[in-house]
């Protein structure tokens, strides 16, 4: 393999092409323009929001097709060299490393012999002295930032067994925080960037072991089925355990649980060789602040009030997924010394990695057929290679010349992966479920408020009724007292009147007797007077008669 002819891995045309690819890879990941998402009709007149980075100018053939197709983004590949271990320092003491790194030029030279080597270029070249922080910043951090912006992202480690894939990705760093791997650092950045009140982060931790998807957080769930959406082609694992993460401590606890359940074995090449592909899926759901112009125009056209439209307008969310894949190491049976069940594990690992390599080759060559369905691993990574995710691959290699063949295979895998183009898309959608929940909450609030108002009105009516009854009772009491007082008053007046009448009656009773007495007294006097008068009259008559008689007598005498 001549250095000049094979530069770039025997598939990339020249250094210039490789540099252009690097430039494209460094700028291909789009960022959503603030406040200018595209809208396209989706299903039954409902609006679905899909944005794919910078929007094309009007009349430039953009429209819905451009929005749906996304922006091309090449898979970025970094190579990391593991330092010599104790066994290699003893066995290869008289031999030079099989690789020579030129990190400032982002080149790697693979020695064929003492005078001939092949040169390859990568997006990043990480020496054995590169820190975990440096590896994270150049390999995973751009992907994590894209995930936080609403894009899907994949970080994957590929390499021969014992070259540091699990160390690079899954190292917890309990003893030394500087040794933390990509998983821990990625979750730190995600949790630091989200808003707990409106955003959620959940994860699933799985392993693909002997072509069976097993739940590392729930070992009983050991055969999870892959479900593929027939409309969109998206792959999901509805049977996997999903745990919401709110802080770094709970995430670390989940990682420890998963690592404790992951299958590992002791081989000649690695004392703790992973016998399964570990897959960490982190789902990020973020609310988009602000409202689209369409919603504003709709509210203006329909003439609804702003508060009403705000309550009925579904919120906009971005759902992104970060997939971190720690592939089991490829191994040669004669070197690893696998036998029995470990041999069957190695066969399964190599078979799935071979299927992944075939898919990478087909995508790199723009083949019409990509054998995605040959393995569950390729089905799970369907979105990572040739899909809509931003993908970053780190290939790990060892320095030992005894494993030059495996190192060459790993480097060639990375070179082919650099040719794979993904169509990175940002998808925003209306969160109708959240709207329903919000409306349910509002409805519950209104029902509760109605019940409160009704109870308040009932209590108020009861209070007013009680107060009215009290006032009526008080009024009746006052009236009763008043009536009693009036009754007593009138009764007293009656008694007084009766007394007065009695006195008057007594006076009246006494008055007739006195009058009668007086009358009787006066009658007696009158009778006496009459009697006297009678007597006087009688005497006068008698005297008159006497006189008359005397006169007659005298006349007669005269005669």
Say whether 164 counts as a known binding-site residue.
yes
What does the alpha-carbon distance between residue 235 and residue 226 come to, in Å, rounded to a whole number?
A: 7
Q: Give the sign of the dihedral formed by CA 423, CA 426, CA 429, CA 434.
A: positive
Say whether 70 counts as a known binding-site residue.
no
283 three-class SS:
strand
Residue 432, H or E segment:
helix 432-558
**Backbone dihedral angles phi then psi of residue 379, each to the nearest 5 degrees:** -70, -40
Say whether 357 counts as a known binding-site residue.
no
56 three-class SS:
coil
Instruction: Residue 469: count other Cβ atoms within 10 Å of its Cβ.
Output: 10
C-alpha distances out from residue 482 to 184, 434, 467, 470, 474, Å: 89, 68, 21, 17, 12
Contact 301, 263 (CB under 8 A): no
Task: Collect all residues with Cβ–Cβ distance below 8 Å to 73 and sequence separation of at least 6.
Answer: 25, 28, 29, 30, 390, 421, 422, 423, 424
* E strand map for 409-461: 421-424, 426-430
Task: Collect all residues with Cβ–Cβ distance below 8 Å to 58 and sequence separation of at least 6.
Answer: none
393 three-class SS:
strand
Show the DSSP H helices in 111-164 as ranges: 132-135, 141-149
Say whether 165 counts as a known binding-site residue.
yes
Say whether 166 counts as a known binding-site residue.
yes
Question: Tokens standing for 459?
Answer: 């209590």
Say whether 387 counts as a known binding-site residue.
no
Binding site, annotated residues: 159-166
Binding site, annotated residues for ATP: 159-166
């Amino acid at each position: 393999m001549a250095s000049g002819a094979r530069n770039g891995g025997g598939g990339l045309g020249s250094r210039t092409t490789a540099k252009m690819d690097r430039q494209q890879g460094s700028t291909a990941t789009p960022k959503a323009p603030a406040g200018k998402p595209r809208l396209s009709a989706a299903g039954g007149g409902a609006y679905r929001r899909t944005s794919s980075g910078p929007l094309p100018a009007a009349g430039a053939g953009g429209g819905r097709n451009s929005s749906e197709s996304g922006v091309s983004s090449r898979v970025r590949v970094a190579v990391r060299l593991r330092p010599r271990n104790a066994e290699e320092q003893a066995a290869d003491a008289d031999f030079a490393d099989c690789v020579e790194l030129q990190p400032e030029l982002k080149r790697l030279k693979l020695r064929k012999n003492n005078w001939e080597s092949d040169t390859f270029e990568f997006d990043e070249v990480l020496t054995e002295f590169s820190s975990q922080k440096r590896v994270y910043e150049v390999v995973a951090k751009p992907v994590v930032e894209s995930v936080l912006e609403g894009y899907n992202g994949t970080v994957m480690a590929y390499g021969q067994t014992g070259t540091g894939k699990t160390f690079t990705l899954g190292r917890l760093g309990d003893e030394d925080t500087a040794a933390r791997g990509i998983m821990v650092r990625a979750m730190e950045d995600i949790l630091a960037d989200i808003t707990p009140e409106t955003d959620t982060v959940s994860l699933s931790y799985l392993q693909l072991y002997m072509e069976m998807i097993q739940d590392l957080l729930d070992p009983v769930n050991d055969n999870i089925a892959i479900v593929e959406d027939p409309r969109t082609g998206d792959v999901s694992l509805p049977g996997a355990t999903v745990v919401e993460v709110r802080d770094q401590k709970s995430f670390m606890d989940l990682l420890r649980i998963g690592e404790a359940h992951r299958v590992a074995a002791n081989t000649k090449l690695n004392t703790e060789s992973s016998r399964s592909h570990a897959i960490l899926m982190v789902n990020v759901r973020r609310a988009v602040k602000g409202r689209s112009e369409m919603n504003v125009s709709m509210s203006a056209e329909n003439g609804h009030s702003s508060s009403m439209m705000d309550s009925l307008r579904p919120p906009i969310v971005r759902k992104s997924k970060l997939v971190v894949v720690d592939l089991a190491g490829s191994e040669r049976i004669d070197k690893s010394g696998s036998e029995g069940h470990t041999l069957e594990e190695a066969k399964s690992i190599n078979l799935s990695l071979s299927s992944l390599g075939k898919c990478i080759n087909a995508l790199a060559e723009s083949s019409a057929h990509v054998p995605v369905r040959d393995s569950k691993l390729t089905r799970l990574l369907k979105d990572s290679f040739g899909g809509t995710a931003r993908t970053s691959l780190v290939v790990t290699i060892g320095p030992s010349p005894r494993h030059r063949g495996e190192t060459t295979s790993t480097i060639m895998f990375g070179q082919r992966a650099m040719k794979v183009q993904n169509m990175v898309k940002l998808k925003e959608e209306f969160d109708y479920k959240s709207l329903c929940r919000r409306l349910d909450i509002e409805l519950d609030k209104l029902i509760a408020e109605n019940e409160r108002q009704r109870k308040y009105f009932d209590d108020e009516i009861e209070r007013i009724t009680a107060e009215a009854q009290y006032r009526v009772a008080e009024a009746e009491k006052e009236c009763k007292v008043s009536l009693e007082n009036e009754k007593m008053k009138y009764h007293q007046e009656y008694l007084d009147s009766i007394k007065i009448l009695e006195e008057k009656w007594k006076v009246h009773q006494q008055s007739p007797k006195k009058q009668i007495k007086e009358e009787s007294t006066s009658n007696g006097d009158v009778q006496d007077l009459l009697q006297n008068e009678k007597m006087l009259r009688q005497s006068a008559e008698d005297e008159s008669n006497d006189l008359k008689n005397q006169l007659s007598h005298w006349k007669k005498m005269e005669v």
